[in-house]
Amino acid sequence: MTDGHDSAYDGLLEHHTVTDDSQWAFGTDFEDPLAGVDTTIPDGVDARTLGAYCLMLGDDALVYSHRLSQWTSNAPDLEEDIALANIALDLLGQARLLLARAAAADPDLVPVLPVGSPVPPEDALAFFRDESAFRNVRFVEPGNGDFAVTVARLLVFSTHRLALLQRLATSSDSVLSAIAAKGVKEVTYHRDYAARWFLTLAHGTEESRRRLLAAMVLVWPLYDELFRTHPVERTVAEQGVGVDPATTADEVHVVLEQVFSVSGIDRPDVPPTGPVSGGTGRDGRHTEDMGRLLAELQVVARAHPRGLW
Amino acid sequence: MAVTSQAEDEAELLARFEATVGRHDRIEPRDWMPEKYRRTLVRQIAQHAHSEIIGMQPEGNWITRAPSLRRKAILLAKVQDEAGHGLYLYSACETLGVSRRELTAMLIAGKQKYSSIFNYPTLSYADVGTIGWLVDGAAICNQVPLCRTSYGPYGRSMIRICKEESFHQRQGYELLATMMRGTDEQRAMVQESVDRFWWPALMMFGPPDAESPNTEQSMAWGIKRDTNDDLRQKFVDMSVPQAKALGVTFPDPLLAWNEERGHHDFGQPDWDEFAAVVKGSGPCNAQRIAHRKKAHDDGAWVREAAVAFATAVVEERAPVSVSKPGEGSEQ
């Protein structure tokens, strides 16, 4: 053991007044999440539509990350605690980049804060938007339930998101394609993790199988909404910058079928959750869970609109 | 006769063990060790592992409310690191013949302890920074010497843990420094948090040396390398200039530089409170154990399913191993 560790403390004072944070560890080196990336909007792409689209994918990641992070210190074993936190962290990173891209593409999306507020635009979007301005699918909103519900929801979500990100990697927007290329690697792991647990629970004990079947009934009603095309998604797909989710439905179906068939589990026969006044999550119409989720997510930030964190 | 010879053998083993410790070499899991040394290690490593796991709760309390996406990522990663530290330490403990399952059962039953600091609540976001700065800071003071502890697996775990803890401490300090550059409300939040955590942080070094029952033997065996009071003094001396740089004060009217000693003089924590918290009367003792118990109980069916699935897979593969000599021969 070197004596270097005895002085773990000494570094603290050396740069305390310097704003360069490079001395700090994880998480502190991304002041501008899009630093160094070409953020020019590609020709033929409508910036407002691109912004709205980034918000959709960013909000899916943000809200689901929030849910998964609630497993921290509550998981069935330490390994699962660590894995679920990893997945939540990956999605949080995706959310941060996508919200920053949304704000850069369309600054009008960003809530207006008091003059002089140091809150960066991606944080203003996450913490100062009202519920109806969130564009995530309702699929990611409900509480975690037990581990079986989490596994079933994660399997479906990550299969859907992976299909989406794989297509998005060829987006004409260099920012979106870069975010997607990074995300594909992450979400491939998420899907693998969920599929392995799905199989384990299906063939584990009677109890785990019973819970998994019950979980499918809970998760499935919001499945169809994942593939419902919003006008914004149709436009970005036409412009070559985004993906129409309906085009991923077949692939998602096939991948899930593989997992379900080896697990000996059928898709439950339950009616899909209907829209609210014709709208769903992408239109800003959410579940009753969403308000409480946002109240928790936003409470500290909103109490300090001029706060520096 | 046999008894005498056994006693002679043991005397020789003990002499060899003490020589190894005396040379500051490592004791490894295969080596002979006195039963009391093994028990002391299990107690200490388990307490440390439990502290990492229980320690996830007070900070985990703020993950869903972190006020920026960057802070949320840092906090989530930090709490995840603590789970990882718990894993290494439980593994180190398993080399001494006690399983993670048994240790968790003892924690939940209140038969093993964890650091009392985690029985205090986190009441504002500044607490995330204060825990990083003062609590992780005190932990580092306690733990750095353990990188050279006599038991190999423990010492090696501690090297990695200390590296990560020093990241956490810097992140905590950086959060507080950032908040101090923010609004008046944020500065007040930081000061209030430091006021609440200063004394409990000093208690983390344990009772004064005169009242520390385990220190002498642990030092002789090279499990522990500094006394409680020495480490406490070191912590105070290091923290005072940091507080000054940060712009906060510590709630101790006796805190003053002593030129003659070359150290700071400081007041004593309320040791009655310390004893009460250790005995279970802290603000969060019952809550922390109930939380851990609930997670463990709620997860039982998942762990059982994983075992059942793994067993079924092994049984399915068994016929294959029959046709391949060398495989499955240990079953």
pLDDT digits (tens, 9 = 90+) for B4-23: 677 778 899 999 999 998 89
Confidence at A7, pLDDT banded by 50, 70, 90 = very low
Query: What average pLDDT does range A279-287 have in this prediction?
Result: 98
Predicted pLDDT at B319: 55
- At the fourth CATH level, the homologous superfamily of domain A44-269+294-302 is Ferritin, core subunit, four-helix bundle (1.20.1260.10)
Instruction: Specify the higher pLDDT residue, A118 or A11.
Output: A118
* Mean of pLDDT over chain B: 91
- pLDDT tens string B121-162: 999 999 999 999 999 999 998 888 888 889 999 999 999 899
Chain A residue numbers with beta carbons less than 8 Å from the beta carbon of B167 are 24-26
Confidence at A21, pLDDT banded by 50, 70, 90 = very low
pLDDT for residue A14 is more than 60: no
Predicted pLDDT at A12: 54
**A296: nearest CA partner in chain B:** B65
3-state SS, residue B265: strand
Residue of A19, A73, A94, A308 best to disrupt the B interface, most CBs of B under 10 A: A73
Predicted pLDDT at A27: 44
Instruction: Specify the higher pLDDT residue, A35 or B86.
Output: B86
Query: What average pLDDT does range A43-69 have in this prediction?
Result: 97
- pLDDT tens string B260-295: 999 999 999 999 999 999 999 999 999 999 999 999
Residue of A71, A78, A296 best to disrupt the B interface, most CBs of B under 10 A: A78
Confidence at B318, pLDDT banded by 50, 70, 90 = low
Predicted pLDDT at A25: 40
pLDDT for residue A11 is more than 60: no
Predicted pLDDT at A3: 40
pTM: 0.91
**Could A89 and B77 be called an inter-chain contact, meaning their C-beta atoms sit closer than 8 Å?**
yes
Instruction: Specify the higher pLDDT residue, A300 or A23.
Output: A300
**B244: nearest CA partner in chain A:** A13
| % of chain B with per-residue pLDDT over 70 | 94
pLDDT for residue B209 is more than 70: yes
